[in-house]
Structure 1
């Protein structure tokens, strides 16, 4: 017998095609920037745990890479494997879509969803739809395709209906004590988070100029009191890509590093000394050994 007052703790996967706002949703639920975001598809490359603890629940959100159907190389096969593995291991699934962009890519993810676990359809950017009635045809359409546990419109960026979403998810989490401490936010270490923040700035500040095949490797991470010294290599695929990242007189690289450092100082709560440089590793995104060394 279950009690609605008992403490609940469980895992919740956030899945969807690239660029529907999965990481933004996680960040707004947590109330801080943990998962990196940019307009570039496939910004999220790792399975990332975000821990949200309330008085009666610990939600363990797993942010996943967008399921990739183009540019299938070793990196993307690896990311897709992550998505399918996560789906088989969690208590609840949030399938995130955008109301204005519903297409074949969403339906491909729909085919991966488990039939034996609660799956909520989360319609993100619902504020763009105007009247909620505009969602009805979409909801009916999807209801025919999959037995969703519930359909919840939200706006991650505007913090709309996130409490309703959490309340609905809570009902389906197992009754058990918290797994993590109430002040823990993720199971990832600072080294990993530093690399992700630097990669986000590259994607955000260079946009379409920067090729998808850019990675970050933290070569040294040392802490002295409240100061963290971080040495980071930005890895590109070709020599011709180096000047794009460095910019005239090193201007681009300097701006990327400065903005990444500011974000790190906010998250880690201390001073950061950050040194960055650009390195060429030809074909790294299709090289299983290189991917392993970069943590994929």
Structure 2
């Protein structure tokens, strides 16, 4: 029997069962809003005409002022046959002149078009510059938000929860001849003395082992939290990374979330606290979420690029990147809507990915838990939790991927 379609305004969502072992979300059961395509925007737009723009155009092209145009409009109410013929010929002549002027304006290159042409110009391999950048820091320092802002699209899940990132995520920014690849690593957990824990999970061990693989290392910390609730582990991480110069790698220190600090002079106190660390080339004060100071940071990184071929095609969003984005978007919504103690050991898998003939994408992901109680929390009453997660994730994926998405989420036991 065909499932009843429900609107987003309804308070309860239905749940889908598969084989008795899973409860989930299927976007085909919901009436999702239409995507804002070019066609719908053009169709919905009403034609408007502002008289002042017509006067300005007539003055620029035909040399007529506003008073002359008003007199012509007043005298044009009653005309003889010969006058009307003359007027039609005049309209034809004016139309030709106007068309020519519009064509010349259309083909004239603007500054923005010049910049676009420069960005889209094929760069020869021998002229290419590239840089690999690792972004590292304590849990919840804002690494994912900074990566997303610099790359220009969502490549890493952003959440108020700690330890959101469970693996390295690659984001690519290409400008002119320069390409920068960003690696967002899991938050590093430190002992009070500043040494890595011996019992950290594989993802954290991977973060430590990958530090030296990057050309540039960005060490980031939450300066607002540092001022209100200082954490010895964070201080230990900052000092350990900047204790000595690494001849094979440049390192910079980023004080993030400066927008949350009310007294800006407090930022100078923090900068003074870490000024004597020789391992850092530069210090930056930024807001990864709002973008403050990120432009200067981006410019600095571009200046550090090496002359070598790019690693990624800048004009293509590969299927691997799209798959990764789909996982990150769902994970972010998952963390936003589960307010109890988050079961970080929930296994999140991409099960199926199909690009259909109509251009849409079918995405099936599974959230696999060890306990029935965890599954109940994720599913929610009558499927309300997983329903909200699915609807929000589906809408965001359609916005990012610029196409219709059929999203299926299944919560099941191992």
TM-score normalized with structure 2 length? 0.61
Q: Say which of 149, 163, 178 aligns to 1:57.
A: 178
Q: 1:220, 1:230 within 8 Å by CA — same for their partners in 2?
A: yes
In the TM superposition, what are the counterparts of 1:1-296 in structure 2 within 5 Å?
7-69=128-190, 76-102=200-226, 103-110=231-238, 111-112=240-241, 115-116=245-246, 117-130=249-262, 132-184=264-316, 188-225=320-357, 226-281=359-414
Does the 8 Å CA contact 1:8/1:173 hold for their aligned counterparts? yes
Cα shift readout 1:161-220 (whole Å, capped 9, x = no counterpart): 111101222232212343322224679443333222222211011133532222311222
Structure with more of its chain in helix, by fraction: 2
Query: Do the aligned residues in 1 keep the contact of 2:155 with 2:328 (CA within 8 Å)?
Result: no
How big is each residue's C-alpha offset from its partner over 1:92-118, in whole Å with a ceiling of 9 and x where there is no partner? 111111112232222343325673121
Give the CA deviation at 1:48. Answer: 0.8
Q: Distance in 2 between matches of 1:187 and 1:10?
A: 23
Name the structure 1 match of 2:53.
Answer: none
In 1, distance between residues paired with 2:263 and 2:179? 33
Check 1:73–1:276 CA distance in 2 against 1; reply closer, same or farther (3 A cut).
farther
How far, CA to CA, are the matches of 1:186 and 1:137 in structure 2?
A: 44
C-alpha separation in 2, matches of 1:26 and 1:164 = 15
Equivalent-residue separation in structure 2 for 1:68 and 1:127 (angstroms): 25
**Aligned partners of 1:262 and 1:69: how far apart in 2?**
38
Stretches of 4+ moved more than 6 A in 1? none
SS of equivalent to 2:180:
strand
User: CA contact under 8 A between 2:245 and 2:280: conserved in structure 1?
Assistant: no
Could you tell me how far apart the structure 2 residues matched to 1:176 and 1:187 are?
25
1:132, distance to aligned residue in structure 2 (A): 4.1
The more displaced of 58-67 and 203-212 is: 203-212
Q: Which moved more, 1:202-211 or 1:111-120?
A: 111-120
Shift of 1:8: 2.6
Unaligned runs of 5+ in 1: 1-5, 282-296
Question: How much does 1:69 deviate?
Answer: 4.8
Q: Decide whether the 8 Å contact of 1:210 with 1:244 is kept in 2.
A: no
